[in-house]
Amino acid sequence: MRFAPSMRTIFFAFMSEKCEADDRILIQGHRWLSMIAFGPTEKRTEPLKAFPVDEAILREKLSQVNSYHATVQGSDPPDLSVNVISLSGWDAVYGRLDSPARLKPHVPPSGSHSRNTPGNGYGANGTVPVRIFVINSKPLP
């Protein structure tokens, strides 16, 4: 289970953690952004299921996350960032982790390659290697 800032007013968000000095990670011989995209699943065809974790457990986990931030990395974690349009609390989310079986990297234009070729990951130009398709979320004000 992973906690993420509230997604009530956004379509997609990205979580990142500095894995290496250039904020990238080596996957299948290519450098990818060290991020996870997350957002709603495509068009929902079935009703939402009940959130599978009890509220008391969610509060305990959120307390642990807040305590970790305060004691290990200070009040603002320098190497962990979540970039969102609106931050109005926390949501607990669960979903399905997804990534293409064979990632194809983004190829920016260069002298020998005049066109921008997006990768098959997620986010801008397909540069994020993995995504969490959110099945349900629970706000934790």
Q: Dihedral angle at the C-alpha atoms of 63, 69, 72, 76, nearest 10 degrees?
A: -160
Low-confidence ranges of the chain (pLDDT < 70): 1-12, 41-47, 68-88
Domain tally, the chain: 1
Determine the pLDDT at residue 68.
Answer: 66
Determine the pLDDT at residue 2.
Answer: 47
Determine the pLDDT at residue 85.
Answer: 41
Q: Which domain holds residue 27?
A: 2-140
Determine the pLDDT at residue 7.
Answer: 44
Query: Secondary structure of the chain: what % helix, strand, coil (to 5)?
Result: 15, 35, 50
Determine the pLDDT at residue 71.
Answer: 60
Determine the pLDDT at residue 119.
Answer: 92
